[in-house]
Amino acid sequence: MPKLGVSPTTSDSNEHSVAPLRGLRRALFVLLTLLPKNAMSRAMGRFTSMRLPGPIQRAEIRLFAALAGVAIEEARDDVADFASLQQFFTRALRPGARPLEGDYKTLVSPCDGAWGESGAIESGTMMQVKGRAYRVADLLCDEDLAAAYEGGCYATFYLSPRDYHRFHTPTAGRITRVEYVPGALWPVNSIGLLGVDGLFAQNERLCAYLELGHGALELGPGALEPGPGALDFSPGEGAGAQSGDSGPVSSPGIAMIAVGATMVGSVRLTFDEMRTNVANGSPERRDFAANAPTFARGEEWGTFEFGSTIVMLTPPGEIELDSRATGTALRLGEAIGSVCR
């Protein structure tokens, strides 16, 4: 059983099942077990943050965009305005590039990317890939917290190098807690998914918990800042409350886990200095209590420095998730379910 706040392994151990891998993919996996993936990823972060002379920098960015299939025209800033390739990776989008579908009760995709496994949380487990389950408690590093999601839903979203690298809230609320869990940095492609048991519970990650409020808080014109609206976080009827002597039952909210991967320099937050892939990093936790930052639906809360993965967990009775087939493309702001509160 992993210790609180620590992944089941925090080293580059090769003690993982490789049975599903064959041929070249198995050879690549074995090679990865020998490489210092975390150090390599930090080096990649430093390399992509290097500032090159203007013409060379613009050429580098345009070459990357062409090879990866990035839609440059969606970027808010011109190619000449980016001082490094890393700045281009973490680019902002022009206003209106990702309109939010539905109304305040519509759950929206928190990022660009593609659907991974999704469905119901049963017996404390979720699916990594078809036929391979992993434990919610291992992902969250908290047995009691994991139990609160039993009977709820989960969804996995993969970001590729061509995608918009910032991630946003799927609905309005406040982030009451965030935790940094150090660990390994396996790739989240087929090599990692098939070769590493509990991949998302092995890799470094940031776990944030979004408490849902009653009411509406939408983004204003231009989808950059919260517009008019208000959220009430007092106990109410419906999910998260019950009648009787015990009073209201506290809900952990939507768990949003931003998972790092090989060659992802770091995962960063917009509202706190906490980040992943810190050399000799140790577990960190912030409980914001009365100072919890409030977010409108679709508001930015973090950034990947290169593509990776979001795993979202919802408590039972609070969210209805419209799951899609694995590999289905999706865009930030696209409707993926509804809020029941």
Catalytic site residues? 112, 168, 308
175: part of which helix (H) or strand (E)?
Answer: strand 173-181
CA distance 19 to 17: 6
136: part of which helix (H) or strand (E)?
Answer: helix 136-140
Q: What is the DSSP letter of 56?
A: H
Contact 201, 9 (CB under 8 A): no
Contact 84, 50 (CB under 8 A): yes
Q: For residue 275, which of 64, 34, 47, 90 has the smallest C-alpha distance?
A: 90
Residue 52 DSSP SS3 = coil
Copy the structure tokens of residue 297: 């639906």
Q: What are the two backbone dihedrals, phi and then psi, of residue 57, each rounded to the nearest 5 degrees?
A: -65, -45
Count CB atoms within 10 A of the CB of residue 220. 12
CA distance 195 to 25: 9
